[in-house]
């Protein structure tokens, strides 16, 4: 009973996000993120080679109508905590309940699922905010014939360049289909991984310099944090290579051969990113070893100084101990210059030992 009470103090009282899903049927829409209570906002870009329109639809019917338009439609849904809205929009677009469950599950591992008339994908969008912190945002995308649905948590994203290319007719995006739009969005996510990794590399290199010059207990905490950061980034980035490979190898008619050529370029980038994150993982793990080694070296330096000091004072203490004895018949005690001779001997020993230690490179 006593053990149970102790455990009760350790376990959290508030139910976790995962406990909310326990006991529910597969396909139940349960938002798993930290941004609850918000409403979904929909922005739509429709375009072809000649036309470009950007607007906010009034209702779900206006959103669904874009599925049948001849133009390419990018339906961007910001805010996925509104479970009722996600359920409605999903049913109107004919999405599987398991897809809707994954859309609102912010802990879902990156994945791709192919269905008869659409391809569903989940990625993690990583970027650096104004406070120089790494932001992790859940992004789900549904590729259909003529449109792409994007579900994201916040207004901030890495798609600014894609929007600008569509608006200004720069590049080939206005002349291609919805599969190329999906590629452009994935490519923007992957390219921004390089920015995050560069930021991570800078932090690791800065820590290396501090660990080498002045290792402190506070630095050990920062090393632990950077190790967790690297592992978290690796968890979300590492599967992307496999997902892009699946899109390249798929026989689904939604992905054309022309788009697969560009996907191979994104695959090359993802391979480079995986190699980099593996290097940073090893670097972050070696930081703690370097910290412990430098702390040990510092301790050895202190011990060496203390040992040298003790070695110097041992003979001096021996001499002082002899002449501090209370024997009456000690001839040196009655010698007129005995005190000065003893001091001279002790100083000579001190200087001699210092010279000896210096020649041995112990000082």
> Which pair of structure tokens corresponds to residue 152?
């994201």
Q: Which helix (H) or strand (E) holds 44?
A: strand 41-47
Q: What is the DSSP letter of 334?
A: G
- Answer with the one of 294, 314, 332 that is the final residue of a domain: 294
Residues 109, 243: one domain?
yes
Residues 190, 337: one domain?
no
Return the sign of the alpha-carbon dihedral for residues 105, 111, 112, 113.
negative
Nearest to 56 by CA among 48, 69, 70, 66: 66
Q: Where residue 236 sits, what CATH number does that domain have?
A: 3.30.460.20
0.85 exceeded by pTM: no
Number of structural domains, the chain?
2
Q: Which helix (H) or strand (E) holds 152?
A: strand 147-152
- Taking each helix axis from N to C end, the angle separating 240-249 and 257-322, rounded to the nearest 10 degrees, works out to 160
Residues 93, 223: one domain?
yes
Q: Classify 27 as helix, strand or coil.
A: coil
Q: Classify 215 as helix, strand or coil.
A: coil
CB atoms within 10 A of CB 152: 20
CB atoms within 10 A of CB 215: 20
Q: What is the pLDDT of residue 342?
A: 84
Residues 212, 151: one domain?
yes
- Answer with the one of 270, 294, 318 that is the final residue of a domain: 294
pLDDT tens per residue across span 64-122: 988 888 899 999 999 998 899 999 999 999 999 999 999 999 989 999 999 989 999 99
Radius of gyration of the chain (CA): 34
Residues 220, 355: one domain?
no
pLDDT tens per residue across span 21-50: 665 777 788 887 777 767 889 999 999 988
Q: What is the pLDDT of residue 9?
A: 42
Long-range contacts of 43-47 (CB under 8 A, 24+ apart): 43/76, 43/78, 44/73, 44/74, 44/75, 44/76, 45/73, 45/74, 45/76, 45/163, 45/166, 46/71, 46/72, 46/73, 46/74, 47/71, 47/72, 47/166, 47/174
Q: Do 106 and 125 touch, CB atoms closer than 8 A?
A: no
- Answer with the one of 271, 294, 317 that is the final residue of a domain: 294
C-alpha 321/C-alpha 274 separation (Å) is: 69
120: containing domain: 2-294
Q: Classify 114 as helix, strand or coil.
A: strand
> Which residue stretches of the chain have pLDDT < 70?
1-23, 37
Burial zone of 247 (CB within 10 Å; 0-12 exposed, 13-18 middle, 19+ buried):
buried
Residues 215, 282: one domain?
yes
> Which pair of structure tokens corresponds to residue 307?
């040992």
Residues 224, 171: one domain?
yes
Residues 288, 331: one domain?
no
Q: What is the pLDDT of residue 327?
A: 75
Q: Where residue 313 sits, what CATH number does that domain have?
A: 1.20.58.340
Residues 125, 231: one domain?
yes
> Which pair of structure tokens corresponds to residue 214?
């002045």
Residues 8, 151: one domain?
yes
Residues 185, 242: one domain?
yes
C-alpha 288/C-alpha 227 separation (Å) is: 9
Residues 223, 333: one domain?
no
* Helix (H) and strand (E) counts in the chain: 11, 7
């Amino acid at each position: 009973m006593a053990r149970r009470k102790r455990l009760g103090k350790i376990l959290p009282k508030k139910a976790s996000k995962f406990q909310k899903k326990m006991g529910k049927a597969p396909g139940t829409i349960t938002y798993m993120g930290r941004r609850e209570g918000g409403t979904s906002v929909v922005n739509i870009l429709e375009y072809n080679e000649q036309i470009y329109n950007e607007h906010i639809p009034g209702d779900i019917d206006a959103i669904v109508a874009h599925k049948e338009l001849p133009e390419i439609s990018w339906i961007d849904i910001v805010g996925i905590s509104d479970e009722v809205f996600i359920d409605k929009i999903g049913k109107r677009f004919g999405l599987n309940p398991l897809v809707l469950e994954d859309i609102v599950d912010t802990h879902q591992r990156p994945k791709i699922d192919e269905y008869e008339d659409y391809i569903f994908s989940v990625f993690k969008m990583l970027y650096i905010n104004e406070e120089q912190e790494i932001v992790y945002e859940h992004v789900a995308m549904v590729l259909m014939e003529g449109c792409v649905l994007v579900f994201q948590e916040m207004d901030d994203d890495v798609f600014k360049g894609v929007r600008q290319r569509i608006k200004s007719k720069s590049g080939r995006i206005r002349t291609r289909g919805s599969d190329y739009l999906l590629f452009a969005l994935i490519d923007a996510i992957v390219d921004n991984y390089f920015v995050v990794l560069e930021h991570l590399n800078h932090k690791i290199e800065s820590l290396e310099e501090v660990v080498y010059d002045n290792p402190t207990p506070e630095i050990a905490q920062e090393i632990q944090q950077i190790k967790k950061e690297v592992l978290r980034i690796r968890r979300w980035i590492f599967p992307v290579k496999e997902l892009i490979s699946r899109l390249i190898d798929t026989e689904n008619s939604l992905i054309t051969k022309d788009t697969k050529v560009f996907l191979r370029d994104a695959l090359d980038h993802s391979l480079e990113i995986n190699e980099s994150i593996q290097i940073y993982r090893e670097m972050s793990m070696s930081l703690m070893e370097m910290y412990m080694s430098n702390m040990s070296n510092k301790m050895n330096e202190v011990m060496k100084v203390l040992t040298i000091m003790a070695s110097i004072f041992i003979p001096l203490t021996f001499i002082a101990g002899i002449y501090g004895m209370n024997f009456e018949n000690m001839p040196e005690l009655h010698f007129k210059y005995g005190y000065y001779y003893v001091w001279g001997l002790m100083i000579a020993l001190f200087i001699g030992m210092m010279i000896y230690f210096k020649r041995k490179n112990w000082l």
